[in-house]
Structure 1
Amino acid sequence: MTRFRLPVLLLWLVALVAAGVAALPLADRLSGGGWYVPGSGSQQAVAATRSGFADRGAGGMTVVVRDERNTADSPAFEARVRRAVREVTGDGRLRVAGSYGWTTLSPAHRGPFLGKDGRTAVTLVGLKLDDGTARRVLPGVQKDIDRRWAPEGLRVSLVSAATLFGEINELSREGLTKAELVTFPLLLVILLFLYRGVAAAVVSFVVSATAIVLTLGVMSLLARYVELSVFVENAATMIGLGVSVDYSLFVISRYVDELARGHDRDTALATALRTSGRTVVFSGTVVVLAMSSLFLVDLNVIQSIALGVVVVVAFAVLASVAVLPLVLHLLGERVLWGRLPGRRGRPEERGRRWRGAARHIMRRPVLFLTVAVLATAALAAPSLSLRTFTPDARIVPESSPVRAGFDAMREQFGPGSASPLTVAVTSRTPLDASADGGRLVALRDRLAALPHVVRVDSPLEALRAASPGRPFAALGTAALGRLPGDARATVDHFVSADRRTLVLEVVADDYAAAPSSRALVSSTRSLVDRWASPGLDAVVGGETAEGVDANAAIEKKLPVVVAVMLVVIYLLLLASFRSLLLPLKAIVINLLSLGATYGVLVLVFQHSSVAGLLGFQEFGHLQNFVPALLLAILFSLSTDYEVFLLHRIREEFDGGADNTTSVANGMARTAPLISGAALLMVAVFGAFAFTGIVPIQQLGLGLAVAVALDATVVRLVLVPAAMQLMGAWNWWLPGRRARTSPPVGAEEPAARP
């Protein structure tokens, strides 16, 4: 590496600049979608209504106009609303396919599209834009419309899943900027405290900058060809910062220690790579393999985030063992520049208090183990009531025009009006010639009679005007021609041009994420399945159905993900530690820590009093991808610390020390670094918890809590107490011979000067 340092550094700089340029359009390429499960009912419903309708398209939205100066009985109201809607539908960026609602119907038939306050009117607009493009375009259109009409007393909002997730995209970008503004100064202060030197603290950011910039560049290029979730940028940056500062801390600390022992920079660098470098590679491999298990979940939003984490960790490892050593070699002893007052001390002199604490715990292992397990179990108890679902409009601030539109829809037209269930009925023959008209009417009536249903919007009343006895017979050309224009517009909104697809919109009495709305999806699907016949098929879609399907996909695959991940981690730890029982102990303790983390999240985000106290918003559930991601990330990070600690303990044990002395000395040698690394991670994750949008808040807080628990209760209490009780069984492996060299990834004993 030192022989080819200049070409490698040049290659690194070129790659960094190229990735930085490639990353610039990333935010505009990310999708707010990724929640559709391939082949699910919600995905099929979207496909069935995407084309063939007069005013539906690849996407759709509701234009909500609230006039703060006039009511509907004023001539000015109609003129102002029409101008605002005309401006929206005339915007070339939207590629409007058609519209239906207050501005397209006559006064006699547009009553359902006027709110209870007499000031709010809605018009449904179909778009030719695909979902991803709509999410990129709509935030800009919303801002322009708001600037144009807000000064005139008109609140114009574009309401749809695309506008919601487009707004989430913008908020994610703002949250990321805030988190970075908080994180980098905080990290610098902590690193100055840990290194007690300016140069070493600044050099730590080499790994972070490299890993994050290269990852964002790669994600931007991939997003041109595959759908990547809007959450990937925040998640990759957050995890990238966390692991990068950890990995750089391990390498730089060992390098500085070797310089302090009097070694030259080549020897110091070789030792740092041979010890900390191998630990970083092993730890990064564990993270990558554990996160890869999430690709088994057939949900794009989870696969996107998993991909971002895998790529950023891989680049963090590469930067830690390829780029960082070259920078350290060029700096040499100048890495010690800017030493702060106070004495860092020799490596052998540090950690005495940790050794004493470990011995104190191991003198009463049963007591400490019992207390720690009971305390952790008490924290984990609330996790038994953990509930998950997809995000809804409440994750957007109330000041947002998008949130104002959703709130107006719910206040003026009912809580479920902004996100109705869509029942798409398809027939093998045209509906006007079908003998199943009576069954279609019965389906509409039975849907309306379900619990928590406010109404069912359909073309039935318009068709009865032409054919009272057999409404669907009115779809024939001759009968349809006798219908008034408003009735024909209604029919064309709900029935496809080929007359083979009928849409029924079921409006619930609560939010899309409410338990009653989820129960309604289940009862609607049950009713539809019993009703369907060989000639008629029906699928249920909509925002709530989409969330139900996503939850089901996660729940179905989660046991497999857990099993694969635990097997992979067990085998890696088995190969590293050459012990059958230590990997099992690590997995059991990590599961206990994970349960405690889930319990804290339930207390904070599912209970309004706790959420309000900490400044978070209470939703009654966690975002459905958060528990799965926490599972993979936390097992990965916990395994990092486990490897680092147990390899040190193993060194002592293989060197002839007894079990108690091995654990105490291993704690003394690793606890300062583990505590410092944990402090860095808690700072990173905590910054995202208090600056990001709700899913990132939940993920960030969960990671911060878990790392804090892992570095304190787990590493300082549970591990030494459990290892004391296990005694010689710690290193039991049938047929194992005494180790004469450290395992792969181990920190080798430092040579004495």
Structure 2
Amino acid sequence: MLDTEQRPTPPPTTQRRQLERGIASFTARHKWPLAIVWLILLGVGGASGVSLTGSLSSGGWWVAASDSVTASQQIQTGFVGRGLSSAVLLVHDRDNTASNPAFDQRTRDVFDQVTADPRMHAASSFGWSTLSPANRAPFLGKDGATALTTIGMNVDDDAATVELPSLTKEFTQRFDGQGLDVSIVSGPAFWGEVNEQSTSGLIKAELITLPLIVLILLVLFRSVAAVLASLAVGVTSIVLTLGILSPIARHVELSIFVENVVTMLGLGVGIDYSLFMIRRFKEELAIGGSVEDSIAASLRTSGHTVVASGLTIVVAMSTVAFIRLNAITSMAVGAIAVVAVSILVATLLLPVLLNLLGRRIDAGRVPLPRRFRLRPDDADPTTSFWYRSTMTVMRRPLIFLVAGAAALLALAIPLTHMKLFLPDSRILSSPSAVRHGFDTISEQYGPGYGFPIQVVVSSSAQLQDTATDLASYTRELSGLPDVAAVQSATPVLERISPADPMAALNSSIFGALPPDARNAVRHYVSDDNKKFIVEVISAAPGSDERTTRLVERVRDITDKLPNSVHGVVGGVPASAYDANKEIERGLPWVLVFMLTAVYLLLLLTFRSVFLPLKAIAMNLLSVGATYGIMVMLFQYGWGAGLLGISVPGYQMNFVPVLLLAILFSLSTDYEVFLLSRVKEEYRAGADNSLAVARGMTHTAPLISGAALLMVTVFGAFGIAGILPIQQIGIGMAIAIALDATLVRMVLVPAAMRLMGRWNWWWPGRLKPPATTVAHTPRTHISAAHHAPNRGAEGVLGL
């Protein structure tokens, strides 16, 4: 039977003490050379990181070996108007319609100039500008003043992504004065614009964030020197990480969102870790410790908190590898890299700076009125808000636990309606020429025209031998619900040879056809007559559930094709479908391995069987509520106007996965920090309830300040960033706010009060001495903190 006052037994820590003392001593003896090394690292990292943007990839959204990938590869060669990459040239004449001869001349002049530009790498074209008047009606918009032509390019998507954004702006400006709206619309043009808007959003977020960070740190530290030291850690973490990732990106595909993830987490986590370290260093100095001793003590306590929480993030993000989407994996790599670098900077480079500053860490003292201080220095902790609120919760723990959990569960209900899709044109700002082009296509040709479902039917023999099967197949596709149109070579072939359309592919007949008829056929039939493209245009946007169902129906029909032919279904709607299915497949594995890893880390950290289970349960509630609020914001539009964010009606398919890993680890970060202090108080002799109250009193102000800092950083990215970063930033800000308030202030103390002695149960742990300390108020928490028996071994307890 468990003793009611069972205590965690402090294990031996001699080797770890030597390590911490060694770091403190080494950085003290060699602080100036190490400071120079720091500056050199910053310079090298900055010089390397400058080139990162140009090495990042727009790809990574395709599931390897999926039908959508196979279809994309098969379309790249052998067709007119298609190539390694393709683009749609869209021209709107503000002064003429197609009934005016000037319209044809003006649109053809635009086409000639665009395709003649060597930067377009145009190989072949198909559409309004390449066909005779009798065959080009499908390429005229509803207003009669918009025309499009598809251009096949001889460069891959990554190269096109670099070229097309600047070309689009150039052509738009060149023809605007002539009364022509010109857009280049394609996947690479879209991703190139995303890259540019992502970079500008990053700069805007930094301009918003940095002044707010300085203000919050001034309130927390009340000294300019401490603020600058903290900022140095955050900036160093970002610069070094970008410098490390830059050469990697030249050999490994990294998503264009990596920069945003690194900067956002680097500012949040890096400064957060420095906050813990510097605050503890100042405390140690305040009780009379030397600079070197204070650094060693900070490393032994807050330093181990940083390592434990950082390792939790690294392990949690590593589980994302179970989802085989390179865009998600590369963003996880960025998160892992910046957190790992932040750990090293906070525990190895920050001590160098603390040795240089010493007691000057309080230089530039900023006097604040008492009401703006987190806790007045001379305050009785038992009269503090944190102590009183914690004791209030623990007097009625069951009521508070049930009410708090019910509130989070209620917020999580909309999670059941979460919709996922790939980023589409709606993530671009409205003034963008690329966004305008996609909007124009949707308005003039239909919401699904810009992202057709593309089916590639191939045969080992000539297509002429499969004429009946192909005709039956296209008719069946045309009859599906939510189909706006089915485009293929069939209508042209039927006009040429009504009795046997595929007979028109015979060289004797096909060679005698006019050029535009041959081009119309070759846009859908490969030059070896073995591949046949059918494009199914949905009546709904690509992210709509009706389009998703249409992809499923098209694949069902395609799977039933006779053995003489084989079909694969691709296009953006199909690739989004495949990506979502991959996320659905991998997410349970991510969750299982992440929960297991977090549990084991917390098990080793606290030597407690049940505290990790409690932490995981709280985190799941917090993450579920965050997802629910995001559905309300980005799908229902509730409150989106107040935040100034767009409402796409879906979540970016990679956002929930990344949020799960990041939020779980960041929430565990605060859990480690709080419970580490509670554990110290418990070892010092306080009973369970008093240890929780004292731990909350000492850590809650700092946790609240750190949470406010993170909410500010993430919220700024959420407001200023491009939509995917908006969703990540706002999701993280919401989760941190929930965690630092409802979870940390209500659910945690209530659960720990109910669990009582079971909080610290560990199999085989010996019973403690008979004498214990009861509820004896202390005038200063720091006195308890520095008591001889406080168990100063640190966080990990190994």
TM-score range, shorter chain: over 0.9
2:433 & 2:534 partners in 1: Cα distance?
28
**Which one of 643, 649, 653 corresponds to residue 620 of structure 1?**
649
Change (3 A) 1:724 1:249: same
Shift of 1:670: 1.0
| Residue pair 2:680, 2:792 contacting (<8 A) in 1 also | no
Amino acid in structure 1 at the alignment position of 2:391: R
Match of 1:660 in 2: 689
Amino acid at match of 1:519: R
Alpha-carbon distance, 1:68 to partner: 0.7
Q: Is 1:426–2:458 an aligned residue pair? A: yes
Separation in 2 of the partners of 1:109 and 1:53?
Answer: 18
- Are 1:514 and 2:551 an aligned pair? no
Q: Structure 2: how far apart are the matches of 1:511 and 1:712?
A: 39
Q: Which moved more, 1:367-376 or 1:541-550?
A: 367-376
Instruction: State the 1:315 CA deviation.
Output: 0.7
Structure 1 counterpart of 2:428: 396
Q: Is the 8 A contact 1:466 1:480 kept in 2?
A: no
Letter in 2 for 1:438: T
Letter in 2 for 1:700: G
Instruction: Give secondary structure in 2 for the equivalent of 1:504.
Output: strand
Letter in 2 for 1:462: V
Q: Which residue of 1 aligns with 2:22?
A: none
Q: Does structure 1 residue 693 correspond to structure 2 residue 725? A: no
- Residue 609 of structure 1: how far off its partner (Å): 4.5
Equivalent residue, structure 2, for 1:471: 501
Measured after TM superposition, the shift of residue 76 of structure 1 is 2.1
**Cα distance, 1:347 vs structure 2:** 9.0
Q: 2:570 is matched by which residue type in structure 1?
A: G
Residue in 2 that maps onto 1:100: 126
2:85 corresponds to 1:85:
no
Match of 1:62 among 88, 96, 104: 88
Task: Provide the aligned length of Structure 1 versus Structure 2.
Answer: 745
| Superimposed CA distance per residue, residues 385-420 of structure 1 (whole angstroms, 9 cap, x where no aligned partner) | 222111111111222111111111111111111111
Aligned-residue offset at 1:231: 1.3
Which residue of 470, 481, 498 maps to 1:451?
481
Equivalence for 2:621: 592
CA distance in 1, matches of 2:790, 2:289: 23
Change (3 A) 1:347 1:42: farther
- Aligned residue among 404, 414, 422 for 1:372: 404
State the distance in 1 between where 2:790 and 2:367 align: 39
Residue 8 of structure 1, CA deviation: 2.8
- The structural deviation recorded for 1:349 is 5.6
Q: CA deviation at 1:747?
A: 8.8
Shift of 1:652: 1.5
Q: Is 2:568 the partner of 1:542?
A: no
User: Once the 2 structures are TM-superposed, how far is the Cα of residue 479 of structure 1 from its aligned partner?
Assistant: 1.4
Is the CA contact 1:612–1:618 (under 8 Å) kept in the aligned structure 2?
Answer: no
Provide, for residues 451-497 of structure 1, a one-character-per-residue CA deviation record: whole Å limited to 9, x for no partner. Answer: 11111111112222332222112212111112222110111111111
Q: What residue in structure 2 maps to residue 564 of structure 1? A: 593
Aligned to 1:703, which of 727, 732, 746? 732
Letter of the 1:497 partner, please give it.
D
Whole-angstrom CA distance in 1 between matches of 2:296 and 2:193? 49
The residue type equivalent to 2:590 in the other structure is V
Over residues 429-462 of structure 1, what are the superposed CA-to-partner deviations in whole Å (9 max), with x where a residue is unaligned?
A: 1213x2x211011111111111111111111122
Equivalent position amino acid for 1:477 in 2: S
1:440 and 2:470 matched:
yes
Q: Does 1:73 align with 2:99?
A: yes
Deviation for aligned residue 1:252: 0.7
2:5 aligns with none
Change (3 A) 1:736 1:57: same
Q: Deviation per CA, 1:150-172, whole angstroms, max 9, x where unpaired?
A: 12211111111111111111110
Contact 1:198 1:337 in 2 (8 A): yes
Contact conserved, 2:235 with 2:266, CA < 8 A, in 1?
no
Counterpart position of 2:524: 494
In 2: Cα distance, 1:17 partner to 1:721 partner: 49
2:604 corresponds in structure 1 to 575
Asked if residue 649 in structure 1 is aligned to residue 678 in structure 2, the reply is yes
Q: For 2:51 and 2:499, locate their aligned partners in 1 and report how far apart those are by CA, in whole Å.
A: 58
AA paired with 1:586?
A: A
CA offset digits 1:182-229 (Å, max 9, x no partner): 000000000001001111111111111111111112222222112211
Q: CA deviation at 1:534?
A: 2.8
- The answer to whether residue 47 in structure 2 is matched with residue 7 in structure 1 is no
Give the distance between the partners of 1:593 and 1:745, measured in 2 at CA.
27
Q: Which shows bigger deviation, 47-56 or 153-162?
A: 47-56
Report the counterpart of residue 307 of structure 2 in structure 1: 281
- Using the TM superposition, give the Cα deviation of residue 27 of structure 1 relative to its aligned residue in structure 2, in angstroms: 2.0
AA in 1 matched with 2:425: A
Other structure's SS at 2:671 match: helix
CA 1:745 to 1:163, structure 2 compared with 1: closer, same or farther past 3 Å? farther
State the match for 2:560 in structure 1.
530
Matched, 1:234 2:260: yes
In structure 2, what is the Cα distance between the partners aligned to 1:747 and 1:707? 23
Task: Give yes or no for contact 1:576–1:745 (8 Å, CA) kept in 2.
Answer: no
Match of 1:263 in 2: 289
Q: Which amino acid aligns with 1:142?
A: T
- Stretches of structure 2 that go unaligned for 5 or more consecutive residues are 1-26, 769-788
Matches within 5 A, 1:315-334: 315-334=341-360
Name the CA distance, whole Å, in 1 between partners of 2:463 and 2:361.
78
- Match for 2:725: what amino acid? I
1:125 CA drift (Å): 0.5
Range with greater deviation from structure 2 (736-745 or 135-144): 736-745
For residue 526 of structure 1, report the CA deviation from its aligned partner: 0.5
How far, CA to CA, are the matches of 1:347 and 1:704 in structure 2? 33
Contact 2:82 2:523 in 1 (8 A): yes
Taking the aligned partners of 2:36 and 2:127, their CA distance within structure 1 comes to 61
> How much does 1:382 deviate?
1.6
Letter in 2 for 1:225: H
How many Å apart are 1:32 and its aligned residue? Answer: 2.1
Cα deviation, 1:299-323, whole Å, max 9, x if unaligned, reads 0111011000000001111110111
Root-mean-square deviation over aligned CA pairs = 1.7
Q: Is the 8 A contact 2:457 2:568 kept in 1?
A: yes
Q: How far has the Cα of 1:348 moved from its partner?
A: 8.4
**Following the alignment from structure 2 to structure 1, what is the Cα–Cα distance between the partners of residues 520 and 264?**
48
Is the partner of 1:494 in helix, strand or coil? coil
Quick check: 2:622–2:739 contact (8 Å CA) kept in 1?
yes
User: 1:159 — aligned with what?
Assistant: 185
Looking at structure 1, the residues matched to 638 and 602 of structure 2 have their Cα atoms a distance apart, in angstroms, of 42
Farther off after superposition, 69-78 or 327-336: 69-78
CA distance in structure 2 between the aligned counterparts of 1:663 and 1:316, rounded to whole angstroms: 29
**Alignment partners' CA distance in 1, 2:378 and 2:427:** 48
How far apart are 1:682 and its partner, in Å?
0.4
Which deviations, in whole Å up to 9, do the C-alpha atoms of 1:7-32 show, x marking residues without a partner? 33322222211221122222222222
For 1:715-726, list aligned pairs within 5 A. Answer: 715-726=744-755
Query: Residue 466 of structure 1 contacts residue 482 of structure 1 at CA under 8 Å; is this kept in 2?
Result: no
1:176-215 alignment runs, 5 A limit? 176-215=202-241
Give the deviation of 1:744 after TM superposition: 7.0
The answer to which of 505-514 and 176-185 deviates more is 505-514
CA contact 1:576–1:743 (8 Å) conserved in 2: no
Q: Name the residue aligned to 1:751.
A: none
Q: Which residue does the alignment assign to 2:392?
A: 360
1:32–1:135 contact (8 Å) kept in structure 2: yes
Percentage identity across aligned positions?
48
- Paired residue type of 1:263: G
Structure 1 Cα separation of the partners of residues 64 and 305 of structure 2: 39
SS at match of 1:424: strand
SS in 1 for 2:29: coil
Tell me which amino acid in the other structure corresponds to 1:665.
Answer: R
Q: Which ranges in structure 1 are unaligned for 5 or more consecutive residues? A: 749-753
Preserved contact between residue 604 and residue 796 of structure 2 (Cα < 8 Å): no
